[in-house]
Structure 1
Amino acid sequence: MKEFIKYIFIVIIVICFFESCSKSDDDNDSKKKVIAKITLKSLDDIDNGVEIYANQTFNFSYVNGEVSKIESDNYVTSFNYDNKKLLSVTYGKENIDTKKISYSNNKIIQTMTLETMTEFFYDEANKLNEIQSSYIESNFLKKYSTKYFFLENNIIRTYKEPFINPNVEEITYKYDNKNNPYKNHNINFRLIWGFETYNLSENNAIEEINGNKTIDYSIIYDSEDYPIKVTGTDKKTGELWTEYTYEYIKI
């Protein structure tokens, strides 16, 4: 009888263990995967034929499922929301500057800082069409424009018109079919903060062509098809151009 009771007790423990694990997995699956940390290595300069690389680390903090703070090298960028609506961004631990955000129909149409004004334009499908930036000291007359062209949900081409250089810079992109690291991030956060244009896309850039320069991106993915390491190299010279390492959490 004692052996039978012992057996039943063990069976109950095993069942509870697996139910607990199953519940934990279900809870984890219901959470969204977001960026916890980005480590960036990028070509900064070439001195006497020697490549000089800059290294940065970006640590993400979250409140109520939204990015609340990004810290990098003792520099802090804070994001302020009304529910899920991003209202402003403050820069520096002592609020060196604040970017105020204006909306129309829940889409960002303008941001203002102490020095710049940026305007956002969309096409009939509500996809980003153009961003124009101008400086207060120029009375907002001189504008820097970037135009965006989509194929489905990926930006495949941009045209950049700088203030000084009269030549339009055209960049084209090719993509994989995997998950962009920013996939589960607030689209307005993605518009305001990001390293590259293609972070607004659904997938990951595997090639970037800018004039005579072609950057090939090799990507290592995790088990859920999110990038954990992206290495960009100059196709012609083999020179390392940039390298991203991503770490994620589920919230």
Structure 2
Amino acid sequence: MKKYFFLSLMSSVVFFNSCNSTDEYELITDPIQQRILLSKVTTVYYDNPANPQTTVSTLEYNNQGDLSKMRSEGRTSIFEYDTNGKPSKINYYNSAGTLEYYLLYTYSNNELQNTKAIYSNPDFNRTITYTYNNGKVATSTQCQSANCSNPSLSSYTYNGDNITVETSEIGGTFPSSTKHEYLYDNQLNPYTFTNKYFRIMMGGAYALSKNNYASERISFKDSAGNWVQNQNIIYEIQYNSAQLPVQVIGKAANGSNYVKYNYEYILQ
């Protein structure tokens, strides 16, 4: 489970009383027919096992079940929609309440074509453009400059509704290539009822897939152009009675902790 995908969206947070009692979830016989909305994600990173780092992100929704506000690490994001209910703009505020930048959405029919981050300093502006194959995101390309001289490209290979291979190529002065290969369980993942356009913007295989990672192999491309595997992560998943994850622990091949996620939900 890639450690940074959630943070790309979570520059925000609002605190909720999450409905996580067993009785409430037992009322749900078909989770596809009732919205169970992700309200809080607590992530623990074990890059330094002696000093794990924890981040908390919470999410708030409007009456239509659309994401309206998020907060994380003191930063806040406010979401706007067009008359058709599609996301149109996200305003990102720092911990002092000052607008840092905003993100604009552009569509072609019902497909998200690109997002553009606009800063007061145009040198920081960036655009992410998406391509599709049979309605699924095939690639996303990030450009930091007007001529897109050093793009970063992510490409996805699917098996059904899940991404099995995610390849990332980062351009610039020190280019790099990384490959993630995934196996999945057969349960819905925490972002099941999140707006599909936000899932696209979040990026990464987890947000774009239907189910939850069971394992992840990570490889990098060496100077000779060969893929070299350097990590193999196994995920242990605990579910609530609606069969949505409430805790996911990723462990490296040697049994050490890699990452831990705790998920909380509300019913709407």
| Fold similarity call, TM over 0.5 | yes
CA contact (8 A) 2:113 2:129 kept: yes
Q: Is the 8 A contact 1:117 1:140 kept in 2?
A: no
139, 155, 160: which one pairs with 1:152?
160
Q: Partner residue of 1:186?
A: 195
Deviations 1:123-160, CA, capped at 9 Å, x for gaps: 1x111000000112x63221000001110000000111
> Which has more helix, going by share of residues?
1
Please point out which of 188, 199, 204 is paired with 2:207.
199
Cα distance in 1 for partners of 2:189, 2:153 equals 25
Equivalent residue, structure 1, for 2:246: 228
* 2-structure distance, mates of 1:126, 1:31: 24
Mapped contact 1:100–1:112 kept (Cα < 8 A): yes
Alignment of 1:118-197 (within 5 A): 118-123=128-133, 125-136=134-145, 139-164=147-172, 165-193=174-202, 196-197=204-205
Offset of residue 166 of structure 1? 4.2
**Structure 2: runs of 5+ lacking an equivalent:** 1-26, 119-124, 220-229
1:41 matched to 2:58? The reply is: no
Contact preservation (8 Å) 1:171, 1:210: yes
* TM-score, normalising length: structure 2: 0.76
Give the match's secondary structure for 2:210. Answer: coil
Instruction: Report the secondary structure of 2:51's partner residue.
Output: strand
1:56-95 map, 5 Å: 56-63=55-62, 64-82=64-82, 83-92=84-93, 93-95=97-99
> C-alpha separation between the residues in 2 aligned to 1:228 and 1:201?
17
Q: Secondary structure at the match of 1:192?
A: helix
Bigger relative contact order, structure 1 or 2 (CA pairs below 8 A, ≥6 apart): 2
Q: Which letter does structure 1 place at the counterpart of 2:85?
A: K
Q: Residue 32 of structure 1 aligns with which residue? A: 35
- Give % identity: 27
State the secondary structure of the residue aligned to 1:188. helix
Q: Is the 8 A contact 1:34 1:248 kept in 2?
A: yes
Of 232, 238, 244, the residue aligned with 2:255 is 238
In structure 2, do the counterparts of structure 1 residues 167 and 39 end up closer, same or farther at CA, with 3 Å as the change threshold?
closer
Instruction: Extract unaligned runs of 5+ from structure 1.
Output: 1-24
* Residues matched between the structures, number: 219
Rg bigger for which structure? Answer: 1
Contact 1:98 1:113 in 2 (8 A): yes
Provide the rounded CA distance (Å) in 1 between the counterparts of 2:101 and 2:46: 28
- Mapped to 2, the partners of 1:70 and 1:127 lie a distance apart of 26
